[in-house]
Amino acid sequence: MKDKKLKPKFPLGKLTLFGTAAIMASAITLNGVSATTSDAAKEKNTDKKVSKAAAKKDESKTNVVYIVLDDSGFSDLGSYGSEIKTPHLDWLAENGLRYNNSHVTPLCSPTRASLLTGRNAHEVGIGTVTNFDLGPDFPNKRGELKPEAGTIAQVLKENDFNTYALGKWHLAPTADTTPAGPFNNWPLQKGFDQYYGFLEDSSDQYRPDLTIDNTQVPSPTDENYHFTEAIIENANRYITNQTSVYPDKPFFLYLALGAQHSPHQVPQKYIDMYKGIYNKGWDQIREERFERQKELGIIPENAKLAQRNPGVKAWDDLTEQEKKVYTKFQETYAGFLTHTDEQVGKLIDNLREKGQLENTMIVFLSDNGASGGGQANGSVNHTVNYNGLPESFDDIAQKYEEFGSTTAGTEYPNGWAQVSNTPFAMYKNTAFAAGTNTPLIVYNPKLIKDPGAIRTQYVHVSDITPTIYDVLGIKPPKEIDGIKQMTISGQSFKDSLTNPNAEGKQTQYFEVSGHRAIYHDGWRAFTQHKKGDDFENDKWFLYHVEEDFSETNNLAEKYPKKLAEMQKLWHKEAEKYGALPLTDLFLEGLLSVPDDNIRAKNYYAYYRGMDRLTDSAAAITVNRSYEIKIPIERSNEKEDGVLVAHGGNESGYTIYIKNNKAIYEYRIGNKGYKIESSIDVPVGKSVVTFKFEKTGSNKGNGTLFVNDTKVGETSIENTLPLKLTFEGLDIGKDSKYPVSPEYANEGEFEFDGKLVKVEYFLGDDEEFFTPGK
C-alpha cells in the first residue's frame, strides 16, 4: 500500500512523542507539577488509540479472493500428496496454511451458497443443485438463495469494496437463466459489480454459454480460446482497472473455476506432459499418494488407506486396451489441472505486479470431492453421462485421440476419481468423507506467522465468510435492501490463523440426496441411503475420526449408544437449519416442474432474433408428446438452413432445409434418427411441422409434415430420459456446436428465408410432477 511505503524506518510519531515526553519530564523536575505527567500519559494513550485505529482501518482494506475448484478431490494438489504439477497452488500452501480437516457440502450449489452467505445450505434455500425446483413442500430445495441470506459480496459492497465474480455461478434456478431473466438471483443482483462466467452447473471449455454482467453473449469462436484462461484474463483486467483508478479501495474477487468438472478439456500439450505417468494404474498411484500424504504430514501417521470402492476393478484385472484408454483419461484430467494451476499463477503474478499480493487474503478450496459420475468406463459424452446412461467401451475407445478436445466431453472412470479422493472411500454426492473433506488453503501474510504449516481444526465451508468478516472487523448488517437478515450460523476460525492450538468447530450436520451425516467433537456418523428405501431403514456408520482419519473402522455395532446419540443430534441440527423434510430425489428432480416454473406451460412461441435459450429454460420435450410448427417463406429454391436447433454435437434435435428437403434429426452421440421429406419444400409460404407421439417410456413415433402433407416418419426408440442437452435452443440457426454432421461445415447454417417464429405445443404427461403432491 502507498501509506506503507511512505513510513520511515523510525516512525515520526515515536520520535515526536519521545521529544515531548523529555520536555515534559524536565518540566516535572523543575517545577514539580504532577499534572504535566498526566498530560504526557494522556498523549501517549491517545497516540496508542490512533495507532490501533489506523491498524484496524488498514486491515479492513485487505483484498479478499476466493478461488474455488469444481469436483477436485482431497489429494489432487501437490501440496496434498499428488504427482500432478500444481506449483502455483502449492506456493499458496507454502506461504499460507493448509487445513486437512476442512469440509464442504458434497454437492456444488449448496457449497457455493454456504460459502457466499456464511450459513448452512438448507437454511438459505439451496439444499441441492439449483437445476431442481422441488416445489413449496421442500422450501430448502427450491433452487434460489433466500433474500434474507445476504452474500459476502452484498456485505462487502456496503463496506466500500468493489466486488467481482467470475466462472461458475450455479446459484440461480436454472429455469431463470434465460436472456430475459428473471435476474434477481444472478451475480449482479447478489452484490457483484461485474461478472464473467456461466450460470449453470458445467461448461464447455472451448465454447461456453457465456454471460457477462446481466447479458448472455454468443459463445467465443476463436480457436485459441479456453474458458479457464479467459476467466483469469478477465479477473486480472478487473484487478488492474481497480488498482489503476482506485488503488486504495479494497476488492472482493470470487473466482469459481469450471475446472475440474467434466467435460475435461485442455490443449494437447498439457495432456502430453503426463505421457506414461499413469501406466502403472490407479491402485499404485493411489498408494503412492497415500504415502506422500504421510510424508507431507497432511494426514496422520496412523491413517489407513480406505479399501477400493465397490465397482472399481483392480488395475491388474483390466485388459491392455482398457488400461490404455483409462490411462489417457487420467492424463487428460491431470493436464487439465496443471493448466488450471498455470492460470491461477497468472492471477498471483498480477497481484504481485500491482503491489496487491501482500495486502490480499486468498482462500482456496474445492466445492466437493471428486465425481464418480464417469462410472466404470469413463465418459466421452457429457450429456449421455449426465442422464445416467452407460457408454460402451468401444464407443469410448473410438474417441481416444479426441480426449481433451471439442468433440469429446470426457470424464474419467471412477477408479481415477477414487485416486483423487485419497485416502477416503467413495465420491461426491455421498456422506462419505470423500465427498466432503477437500483441501483448504488460506493465504494472509499480514496474519499468518508460520507459513507452510498444517492446521487440523475442524472447519466447515459455512465458516469461511464469517472468518473474513472477523479478519476485516466487519459486523454483518441486520438488514440488506430493507430485508431483515438471518443470523450468520457459520463460526469464525480466525484464531487458528495465528494459533495452531485454537479450537475447531464442534458440531456440523450434512444432508444431500437423502444421505445424512453429523460431526461432533471428534466423531462422525452418517448414512449411505439407498434410493427408494424408507429413511428409517438406512444403515448408519460411526467413526471416531479423531483417531481414524480416513474412516476405515466402523464402530456402529461396537458403540450403539454413541450412534444413537449422534443420530439424535443430527435430527436436532437438521430441524434447526431446515434440512427437513427429506427426499432422495436427485437427477429425477429435472422432471419437477412446479406450476410457477417457466417450463410448466404447454405452449411457447420463440421468435427469430432471440438469443440462444439455455436448455434449462427451454420447452421440455423430454419423454412427452409434442408438436413443433414453423411457418416459413422462401423466395427461391436456394434458400436453406436451420429452422430450429436444440442441442449440439453430443445430443439434441434439429429441423433444417437442405437441397430443398425438410429434414428432422434427433441425435445421441454418434447415433440418431433422421426423417427427410419425400417432397421438396415449396417456394413461397409453407409450414414445416414435426410431431412426436409418445408410445412408451422415452420412445415414440416422429412424423414430419410440409403444410398438411405427411412427408416422412420414423420410430424413435431411444430418447434421453432426463436432460436433452447442455446446449441451448436456437431459432433460425445453430450457433454453437452443430447438432447434425450434415451441416457441420456450414458455420451457423442460418436460414436464408423468412422465419418469424417457432411454435411449440406440448402434451401433458404424468411423469412431470411436483414432489410432495
Counting residues of the chain whose pLDDT is more than 90, the rounded percentage is 86
What are the two backbone dihedrals, phi and then psi, of residue 198, each rounded to the nearest 5 degrees?
-130, 150
**What pLDDT does residue 7 have?**
29
What are the two backbone dihedrals, phi and then psi, of residue 694, each rounded to the nearest 5 degrees?
-70, 130
Domain annotation covers residue 175: yes
Please tell me whether residue 366 adopts helix, strand or coil conformation.
Answer: strand
Looking at the structure, do residues 90 and 194 belong to the same domain, yes or no? yes
Looking at the structure, do residues 124 and 185 belong to the same domain, yes or no? yes
Task: State how far the Cα of 365 lies from the Cα of 764, in Å rounded to an integer.
Answer: 44
> 388: which 3 cell numbers?
445416467
Mean pLDDT, residues 712-722 taken together: 95
Of residues 398 and 56, the one with the higher pLDDT is 398
Domain end marker among 512, 530, 557: 512
Looking at the structure, do residues 392 and 402 belong to the same domain, yes or no? yes
Residue type, 575: E
Residue type, 196: Y
Domain annotation covers residue 621: yes
**What pLDDT does residue 134 have?**
85
Please tell me whether residue 456 adopts helix, strand or coil conformation.
Answer: coil
Mean pLDDT, residues 245-260 taken together: 96
Q: What is the pTM of this model?
A: 0.91
Distances (CA, A) of 335 to 233, 265, 270, 679: 20, 9, 4, 51
Looking at the structure, do residues 508 and 519 belong to the same domain, yes or no? no
**pLDDT higher than 80, residue 46:** no
Looking at the structure, do residues 460 and 429 belong to the same domain, yes or no? yes
Low-confidence winner among 17-21, 478-482, 638-642, 705-709 (lowest mean pLDDT): 17-21
Domain end marker among 491, 512, 533: 512
Looking at the structure, do residues 159 and 275 belong to the same domain, yes or no? yes
CATH number, position 717:
2.60.120.200
Task: State how far the Cα of 319 lies from the Cα of 324, in Å rounded to an integer.
Answer: 9
Looking at the structure, do residues 522 and 654 belong to the same domain, yes or no? no
**pLDDT higher than 50, residue 29:** no
Counting residues of the chain whose pLDDT is more than 70, the rounded percentage is 91
Looking at the structure, do residues 297 and 164 belong to the same domain, yes or no? yes
> How much is the mean pLDDT over the chain?
91
CATH number, position 570:
3.30.1120.10
Asked if 80 contacts 98 with a C-beta cutoff of 8 angstroms, the reply is: yes
CATH number, position 472:
3.40.720.10
Looking at the structure, do residues 621 and 681 belong to the same domain, yes or no? yes
**pLDDT higher than 80, residue 8:** no
**What pLDDT does residue 135 have?**
83
Domain annotation covers residue 493: yes
Please tell me whether residue 694 adopts helix, strand or coil conformation.
Answer: strand
**pLDDT higher than 70, residue 60:** no
Domain annotation covers residue 314: yes
Looking at the structure, do residues 210 and 123 belong to the same domain, yes or no? yes
Looking at the structure, do residues 470 and 342 belong to the same domain, yes or no? yes
Domain end marker among 549, 569, 588: 588
Domain annotation covers residue 163: yes
Count of domains in the chain?
Answer: 4
At residue 23 the predicted structure's pLDDT band, cuts being 50, 70 and 90, is very low
Domain containing 27 equals 2-59
**What pLDDT does residue 58 have?**
56
Domain annotation covers residue 49: yes
What are the two backbone dihedrals, phi and then psi, of residue 313, each rounded to the nearest 5 degrees?
-75, 150
Looking at the structure, do residues 145 and 288 belong to the same domain, yes or no? yes
Nearest Cα to Cα of residue 439 among 500, 367, 526, 511: 367
Domain annotation covers residue 773: no
**What pLDDT does residue 474 have?**
96
Domain annotation covers residue 360: yes
